[in-house]
Amino acid sequence: MPRLEATHVEEIDESEQSARAEDDVDTRDGERSSRAIPEAWRNKGFRFSVMAAALILAAGLSFGVGRAFGLGDTAVLSAIPAPLRGDDVFVESPEGIAKDNLSNITESTGQGMVHVLSGGTSVGIGLVLTESGKVLTTYQPSAGAANLAAEYVFSRKTFKAKVIGVDPAAHLALLQMEGSNGRPFSTVTVGNSDTIVSSAAVIRQKSYHVPGDILATAVSTTGTQDGVSFNVGNLITLNAKVTLGGLTWTGLMASALSSAQPPAIGGPLANPNGHVIGIMVGSSGSGLDTVGYAIPINSALSAAAQIASGSS
């Protein structure tokens, strides 16, 4: 099964069908219950008025190595980042939500996306988490796999990579890019999947154009293209249970997406600020009825930290 093609849902159990219909969140967990999605936010019909179906060619937006490129003795951070603290409030400019969303994603997420290459062939999407070059990906190479590399989507700059470790239960792997000569690599900016609801509540109060939906955009790229496409929509549940590719997943975020093509596995799910709130692992449906499923970024970062520490 190709790594970059979205895996479609083979089976959704009755409890998930109910969750899809009612857009419920698991109420057995007190914390999750307190963050249950308000009824007004469960409107699957709401969409952004714009869908960026064409690839955004962005060569030149990223140099591949370092937003602080050439700054001399800049400290290069190597620790897996923690989720963003506090609410992640989107501030709409006079130019409108759509333009803000696309520019924010290009700046905060797009510049840290890489194609993971094995023997020169693309095998998945990777997200650069640290300035030292740690890359989180759904591709799971074997330990000691040779001829791995990471190619920045926008700049096309390519760096050798090696396997740090794999978490089979989380279906994630952590790679280490090499060859930056001590300069910081460009990274994605992570958000906080545990504060999505509270952040959306604040945004609702501050923006006339955001009627309370939890906005989300799946950012995709395939092969070794030098641009990304956007599947725009809104979150419909925080605790989906589905079967994807023969594997049963729990605790996934599910988003209703306006999608000309299925979102790519391993790509980021971003909020309007361009911050990564999830990692895509599959989808169901098509067109305006696409539902994308993502590992919450907090869970993904926890898995990455475990891999980095050697305790996964």
Using one digit for the tens of pLDDT, what is the confidence trace for 19-38? Answer: 333 333 333 333 433 333 43
What mean pLDDT comes out for the span 237-241?
95
DSSP conformation letters of 235-269? EEEEEEEEEETTEEEEEEEEEEEEESSPPPTTPEE
State the DSSP H helix or E strand holding residue 14, giving kind and residue range, or none if neither. helix 14-22
**Would you call 298 helix, strand, or coil by DSSP?**
helix
Quote the tokens at residue 55: 């690839």
Question: Which band of pLDDT confidence, cut at 50, 70 and 90, is reported for residue 142?
Answer: confident
What does the alpha-carbon distance between residue 101 and residue 230 come to, in Å, rounded to a whole number? 10
Q: For 185-206, write each residue's pLDDT tens digit.
A: 999 999 999 999 999 888 877 7
pLDDT at 258: 85
Contact present, 41 and 162 (Cβ < 8 Å): no
- Partners of 131 in the β-ladder: none
pLDDT at 95: 67
Contact present, 33 and 148 (Cβ < 8 Å): no
pLDDT at 233: 92
What mean pLDDT comes out for the span 156-174?
96
| pLDDT > 70: percent of the chain | 73
Q: For 252-291, write each residue's pLDDT tens digit.
A: 999 999 887 889 999 999 999 999 999 999 999 988 889 9
pLDDT at 129: 98
pLDDT at 266: 96
